[in-house]
Amino acid sequence: MLLTTWARNGLSYEQIAYNMNIAQSTLFEYMKKFTEISEALTRAREVADAHIENALYKSAHGFTQKEKKVIYEKGVPHVVEVETYYPPNHNSLKLWLTNRRKENWRNSPDTTNDETLKKLDEVLGKIGGNI
């Protein structure tokens, strides 16, 4: 089904509707009226999301990948297989942690957390400041 291919390829509902030459609201009406369409699009989008999540995890963790390279020996090209190491990507790590461990890794501290305020007050007290 063409719709699931588009969804699996990461197209948004807006883009899918555009490809169908209908309004996005019409697509949503079809999805409500025909649960098969809604379920098929949801499953296909989940597949696409899973692929991206796996790639993000791999990037955050670091990985080794076999690659083919061409080397020249006395002017003659030879294809050899080499292993290339890709270290953990800091942006992937940050994205993963700020989304999966929000309580510890979000960008703005929770100023309503009494425990956090106590710790901050202790640190500031040691260096001569206060809150």
Phi, psi of 109, deg, nearest 5: -70, 150
pTM of the model: 0.59
Q: Enter the DSSP assignment of 108.
A: S
* Residue type (1 letter), 28: F
Provide DSSP, 20-75.
TTS-HHHHHHHHHH-HHHHHHHHHHHHHHHHHHHHHHHHHHH-EEEEEEEEEEETT
CA-CA-CA-CA dihedral for 17, 23, 27, 28, to nearest 10: 130
Residue ranges per structural domain of the chain: 2-60
Return d(Cα 84, Cα 68) in angstroms, integer: 10
What pLDDT tens digit does each residue of the chain (131 aa) get?
788 999 999 899 999 999 999 999 999 999 999 999 999 999 999 999 999 999 999 999 899 999 999 999 999 999 999 999 999 988 888 888 888 887 777 766 555 567 767 776 777 677 665 44
